[in-house]
Structure 1
Amino acid sequence: MNYLLLFLAVALGYGVALFLKTKKIKQISLYLAFSGAFLLAITVFELLPEVFETPSKSIGIFIMVGILLQIFLEFFSKGAEHGHVHLHADTKDFPWLLFISLSIHALLEGFPISEENNLLIGVIVHKIPVAIILSFFFIKAGYSRIITVLFLFLFALMTPIGSFISENSVYIDTYHTEITAVVIGVFLHVSTTILFESSSNHKFDLSKMIAVVVAILLAYFL
Structure 2
Amino acid sequence: MTALLLPIFAVLIGFLIAIIFKPTVNSGIKLLLSFSGAFLLSTTIFEFLPEIYAVQNKEIGIYIIAGLLIQIILEFGSKGAEHGHIHQKDSKTFPWLLFVSLCIHALIEGFPVSENEHILYGIVVHKIPIAIIISSFLLLSKMKLWQSIIFILVFASMTPLGSFINQQAFILESYKTPINAFVVGVLLHVSTTILFESSKNHQFNASKLGVILLGFIIAYYL
State the distance in 2 between where 1:138 and 1:70 align.
22
Structure 1 ranges of 4+ moved more than 6 A: none
Is the Cα–Cα contact under 8 Å of residues 30 and 198 in structure 1 kept in the other structure?
Answer: no
Tell me by how many angstroms 1:65 deviates. 0.3
Is the Cα–Cα contact under 8 Å of residues 37 and 194 in structure 2 kept in the other structure?
Answer: yes
Identity %: 51
Deviations 1:93-125 (A, max 9, x none): 322211111111000111111354411110111
RMSD after superposition? 1.6
Aligned residue runs from structure 1 range 34-113, under 5 A: 34-86=35-87, 88-90=89-91, 92-113=92-113
Change (3 A) 1:140 1:87: closer
Tell me by how many angstroms 1:74 deviates. 0.1
Change (3 A) 1:164 1:203: farther
State the distance in 1 between where 2:183 and 2:152 align.
22
State the distance in 2 between where 1:209 and 1:18 align.
29
Which residue pairs with 2:17 in the alignment?
A: 16
Uncovered stretches (5+) of structure 2, i.e. residues with no partner: none
Corresponding pairs, count? 221
Which residue pairs with 2:179 in the alignment?
A: 179
Change (3 A) 1:67 1:208: same
Give the structure-2-normalised TM-score. Answer: 0.94
Change (3 A) 1:23 1:99: closer
Amino acid across the alignment from 1:68:
L
State the distance in 2 between where 1:213 and 1:89 align.
37
Deviations 1:43-68 (A, max 9, x none): 10111111100222210000000000
Amino acid across the alignment from 1:20:
F
Deviations 1:132-188 (A, max 9, x none): 000111122222110100000000000000011111211222111001111100011
Give the structure-1-normalised TM-score. Answer: 0.94
Is the Cα–Cα contact under 8 Å of residues 107 and 159 in structure 2 kept in the other structure?
Answer: yes
Matched, 1:31 2:32: yes
Which residue pairs with 1:118 in the alignment?
A: 118
Comparing 188-197 with 36-45, greater Cα deviation is found at 188-197
Change (3 A) 1:44 1:22: closer
Tell me by how many angstroms 1:192 deviates. 0.6
Secondary structure of the residue aligned to 1:86 is: coil
Amino acid across the alignment from 1:138:
L
Change (3 A) 1:114 1:189: same
Uncovered stretches (5+) of structure 1, i.e. residues with no partner: none
Which residue pairs with 1:129 in the alignment?
A: 129
Amino acid across the alignment from 1:43:
T
Change (3 A) 1:126 1:198: farther
Which residue pairs with 1:167 in the alignment?
A: 167
Tell me by how many angstroms 1:89 deviates. 4.9
